[in-house]
Amino acid sequence: MEVQRALERLHMTIFSQSVSPCGKFLAAGNNYGQIAIFSLSAALSSEAKEESKKPVVTFVAHDGPVYSLVSTDRHLLSAGDGEVKAWLWGEIIKKGCKEVWSRHPPYRSSLEVPEINALLLNPKENSLLLAGGDCQLHTMDLETGTFTLRGHTDYIHCLALRERSPEVLSGSEDGSVRLWDLRTGEEVQTIEVYKHEECARPQNGKWIGCLATDSDWMVCGGGPALTLWHLRSATPTTVFPLRAPQKHVTFYQDLVLTAAGNSCRVDVFTNLGYRAFSLSF
């Protein structure tokens, strides 16, 4: 069992993260279909020990990878291959990890079951934004259905909502980050990240694998280096010193940033420039 566990950790990829509604816990999903719950309050404490950086709960959520996670006021939503599941945060923390519901968004044919790489909650509209292997951005009212915003030429890996405006950012295999107006469904800005010398890494490709926004600021990475951007000027300002491509990045309480990718670790930056420590499955 110890050898098997070591091999799993060696080949692990963390695709997704989400902070709990109370702000005390971080959920992370990996390529084995597992979701781990970490206590951020314990890990960030001045009295934190190595045990504080281990999961408090781990459970199997999907048969395949957990590509995306997002939290509502009560639920943790997870996405895999063509399905979205809901779990109650209150029960998860009590180690009662029972699925509440499962939904399968409609696709062009019953034979097409693309992965859902990104989930994003739009609280003002009580809707869920989904994107993935069909190269399209869907908005799903949790009760009524979907519509599509088109524009990318390849897989969409990640989404981020600008809270102060009805706009959403999407990052794709085609190397671009696109800004959409949710009121009109129109694309209003395109940033081709791989064309900027500061963050380009041609040896890793041009794909955008992770994306997060804090109003006027954006962090994105993947093939290009993980980089902080000023959105209004479309200017890269900080390149983070991480060699491996990242699969997911999250802002936490303004100046704390968590990033994860091709390993069993979640790197935690406490001032947007210094990696303070790592959480581990």
Buried-state track 145-181, b at ≥16 Cβ within 10 A, e below 16: eeeebebbeebbbbbbbbeeeebbbbbbbbbbbbbbe
Distance, CA of 49 to chain centre: 27
- Residue that is written with structure tokens 């420590």 in the block: 277
Could you tell me whether strands 137-141 and 176-181 are parallel, antiparallel, or unpaired per DSSP bridges?
unpaired
Instruction: List CB contacts of 2: < 8 A, sequence separation 6 or more.
Output: none
pLDDT of residue 100 exceeding 90: yes
- Tell me the β-bridge partners of 208: 222
Check: pTM over 0.85? Answer yes or no: no
Return d(Cα 72, Cα 108) in angstroms, integer: 28
Of 20, 179, 28, 31, the closest CA to residue 89 belongs to: 20
What tens digit of pLDDT does each residue of 78-96 get? 999 989 999 999 999 888 8
What tens digit of pLDDT does each residue of 179-212 get? 998 888 788 899 999 999 999 999 999 999 999 9
Mean pLDDT, the chain, rounded, equals 87
Domain boundaries in the chain?
A: 1-104
What tens digit of pLDDT does each residue of 214-242 get? 878 899 999 999 999 999 899 999 998 88
